[in-house]
Chains A and B, each alone.
Chain A
């Protein structure tokens, strides 16, 4: 168990560019969550997966955001045509059915800065 891994740890991009982040969950965890966190706020739910199935996407999330988990293992989060308001920490978490979604293990996050 090496924990949840996120790459890259930091990303600086110009406004209008596309970015993609990767999350590798703990190997036996079938639930995978994406959150966005800005300074002084709690993690904001973006989307989550059970295996390869995307269960829900936040209604607050723009169509510029898309997430995949093609083989039920790692996941990617893509942001198209980035805007300065997208600057935030993007957190990934995973959990097991036994935890019933109550204990999620977080990665260290990807900090996105849009300039």
Chain B
């Protein structure tokens, strides 16, 4: 089966940098994705890593280490609108997508 672990909550200051970690156990791993969900909204895709290394998309970057079954999402220049829940998700070779329980990001002014 699959399981993902990520911190339940993280707090950071506006303008700062925050890192949200994710470790996973899965069979047939294909890639690690990150999603953002605001209260009352639907999850929206942020980034994806299939290979080791860092992927950068604007203020957001995502990292993967397949050998360590570990990844993280890095958010820079935090804005109040970044307050949301962030989920890591693993995709397997059959394209099934399993989500972690999410990290609630609180941003202080």
Contact = CB atoms under 8 A, between A and B. Distances in A.
A108 B97 contact: no
Contact of B87 (A42, A48, A56, A103): A42
Contacts, number: 67
Interface string B24-45: 0000001101000000011111
B94 A45 contact: no
A27 B104 CA distance: 32
Nearest to B92: A101
The contact size tier of chain B is 20 to 34
A31 B92 CA distance: 14
B100 interface: yes
Contacts of A45: 96-99
B42 A42 contact: no
